[in-house]
Structure 1
Amino acid sequence: MQPDDLILRLQQKDEKAFERLYTLYSQSIFGVINSVLHDTEASEEVLQDVFIKVWDNCDSYSSKKGRFFTWLLNIARNAAIDKTRSKSFKNQKKNLTQEYFVDIIESKNSFSNKMDAIGISKYIKTLGEECKKVINLLFFKGYTQKEASEELSIPLGTIKTRNRLCLNKLREILVE
C-alpha cells in the first residue's frame, strides 16, 4: 500500500493504517526526538505523545502544504523542544551523569548520525557549511533561533534568513 493511501486511511481513523505508519516512521522520529533530549525514556514517552497528536490531528495534514514526513517531523521536533522546556525535565536533568555530558561533547560538532536516522544525510551533505550549521542547531539539537544566533555569534535576523534559505534549498533538492 502506498503512503498516500495510508495517510488517507489514517484520516478516516483506520487503526491498521495508523499502525503501519507508526511502523514506517517511529524509528526515524525517535532518532530526532532523542537527538534533542538525550534521554531514551523521555524520548520514548514523547514519541508516544507525537503519535497520539498525529492520530488526533491527522485531519490538519494536507499534502498541498508539504510531505507527510515533514509534517510528522515538525510535530516531533516541537514536542521534543517542549519537553526540554518543561519544569519536570529540567528538574530531572539537574543531577546528570557524566555519560550524558560525554555524549553531548562527542556529538557537539557531528550530526551525521542524527541525519542518517531520518534518512536525509545525503541531501544535507550537498548544502553549504552555513546551512549545515544552522540546520544542525535548529532541527537536530533543538535550539531556538535566538540560541542559534548566540551559539554562532551572528545576528538573529541572519539566522532567520539562513534558516529560510537553507530549507528552501533542501526542499529543491528533495523535489528533484
Structure 2
Amino acid sequence: MSTTLTYQEPELIALLKQQDETGFRYLYDNYSAALNGIILQIIPDQEQASDVLQEVFVNIWRRIDSYDSSKGRLFTWMLNIARNAAIDMTRSKAFQNSQKNRELDNDVHTKPDGSLSIQVDNIGLSKMIGQLKEEHRVLIDLAYLKGYTHEEIAGMLGIPLGTVKTRIRAALLQLRKTLT
C-alpha cells in the first residue's frame, strides 16, 4: 500500500526553501501539468513548451527564496514565472526564426487573423474571467493570455498607459476575490 504525501502550502514552501528534493518532486508532480497548460497557451509547440517548463522549474528552484506569501499564493507566483518565461521565449530571435520556418500544417492553433486560439476552459478560468467587466476582460485576455505588454495594449486600444495599468490591477483584484 503506497501512501501519497500531500503538503499544505506553508509546509511545501518550507521544504522548497530548504532545497528539499522530495518537496520539489511533489511540486513538479502536482503543478507541472497546470503550468504546462499556461505555457502551451502562449507557445503552441509542445517541444518548445516542454523546454520552457523545464526552465520554469529551474527558476522556481533557484528563486524560491524570493517568494513572499504575503503577496500571493505559491501557484500564482509560479504561474507568473511560467507566463513570463513563455513570453520571453516568443520574443527571442530563435523563436521568431522558428515561426518563420515552420510548415503551415503545424499551425492548427492559429485563427485566420493570426491570433492563437486559447482554450481558457482547460484551466478553469473562463467562468471567472467571464464575470469581469468587458473593459477588464479584454485587458486580462490581451495581457495574460496573449502576452502583450501594457504599452502594446495601450497602443492597440488607444487608451492611456496609466488607464491600462489601473484597469488591469482592478481586474486582478476582482479575480483574486473570486479565487479566495
Q: Could you tell me the TM-score, scaled by structure 2's length?
A: 0.86
Is 1:98 aligned to 2:109, yes or no?
no
- 2:127 equivalent in structure 1: 122
How many aligned positions are there? Answer: 173
Percentage of identical aligned residues: 47
Contact 1:61-1:71 at 8 Å conserved across structures: yes
The offset of 1:116, in angstroms, is 2.9
1:138 maps onto 2:150 in alignment: no
Give, in angstroms, the shift of residue 11 of structure 1: 1.2
From the superposition, tell whether residues 96 and 147 of structure 1 become closer, same or farther in structure 2 (CA, over 3 Å).
Answer: farther
Q: Aligned residue for 1:79?
A: 85
Q: Which residue of 1 aligns with 2:3?
A: none
* Structure 1 equivalent of residue 30 of structure 2: 24
State which of 168, 176, 179 in structure 2 corresponds to 1:171.
176
Shift of 1:160: 1.7
Distance in 2 (CA, whole Å) between partners of 1:44 and 1:110 is 19
Displacement, 1:109? 8.2
> Equivalent of 1:54, from 45, 57, 60?
60
TM-score w.r.t. the length of structure 1 is 0.87
- CA distance in structure 2 between the partners assigned to 1:93 and 1:5 by the alignment: 42
After the TM superposition, which of the residue ranges 26-35 and 141-150 deviates more from structure 2? 141-150
Partner of 2:167: 162
More helix by share: 1
The one of the two structures with greater contact order (alpha-carbon pairs below 8 A, sep at least 6) is: 1
139-148 or 41-50, larger mean C-alpha shift: 139-148
Match of 1:149 in 2: 154
Tell which deviates more after alignment, 125-134 or 68-77: 125-134
Deviates more, 1:140-149 or 1:26-35: 140-149
Counterparts of 1:3 and 1:52, CA distance in 2: 19
Structure 1: which 5+ runs fail to align?
none
1:143 is paired with a residue of what secondary structure? coil
Structure with the greater alpha carbon radius of gyration: 2
